[in-house]
Amino acid sequence: MSNNTINKEEVEKFSKIADEWWNPNGKFKPLHRFNPIRIEYIKNNIIKDFKISSNHKPLKGISILDIGCGGGLLSEPLSRLGADVVGIDASKKNIEIAKHHLKKSNLNIQYYCASPENLSYKKKFDVILNMEIVEHVEDIPEFINQSVKFLKVNGVMFIATLNQTLKSYIFAIIGAEYILRWLPIGTHDWNKFVKPEKLENICNKNSLELKKIDGVKFNPLLNKWKLSSDKSINYITKYKKN
């Protein structure tokens, strides 16, 4: 019997605001702003790693498991780029919202209310996304262990999260939640933030080799996120399964 990686408090927190997923000016406004850089990073790295000659549907034939998919903010654009996407989330409300929005989008995405340890899915995937999710689970090592079993050998896992630094506490919690009110207060728990070296250690134990790590920084003048060498707050990683 697998350990449960679901943190019920975290699931309830996001279920309460699930209706806001697709409102670009609602509670998930920061994620809507963050989305373009995430999509670009994932797309460009998949094209490079899988040696795809880019066209209008560059991810055609690539299978992706989006873990902690929420309302489908990443699943839908990646499906539009041609990928075969399966999205899972531990929140039933999130999955309901994702399915509801899917009807309007006319895309072919499979959504399941599940976490990696209780997902019954026979096929393995080329790519797994763990984006802004590891800081919300109960047990990160077990979560990665359960996630990696769905990844093909030589497959790629993207993990985006927050570094555990004084700077991340000041900017991501005090700044984003209390001062700027970008996020509802209590969205993040600094104790759950993960240092890149700790994440790498966990991943190495699960046959995942770090191939790339980049910082992600908000530029207030341009009002958008960009890749950066500064990994002290947000960072995004690419791992390959040996």
Instruction: Report pTM.
Output: 0.95
What confidence score (pLDDT) does residue 40 get?
97
Q: What is the mean pLDDT of each run of 10 residues along the chain (242 residues)?
A: 81 96 94 96 96 88 98 98 98 98 96 97 97 97 98 98 97 91 90 98 98 94 93 98 98
User: Which fold does the domain 8-241 belong to in CATH?
Assistant: Rossmann fold (3.40.50)
Please list, in sequence order, all residues whose beta carbon lies within 8 angstroms of the beta carbon of residue 156, skipping any fewer than 6 positions away.
Answer: 45, 46, 49, 126, 127, 128, 211, 238, 239, 240, 241
Please list, in sequence order, all residues whose beta carbon lies within 8 angstroms of the beta carbon of residue 237, skipping any fewer than 6 positions away.
Answer: 158, 159, 160, 196, 199, 200, 210, 212, 213, 214
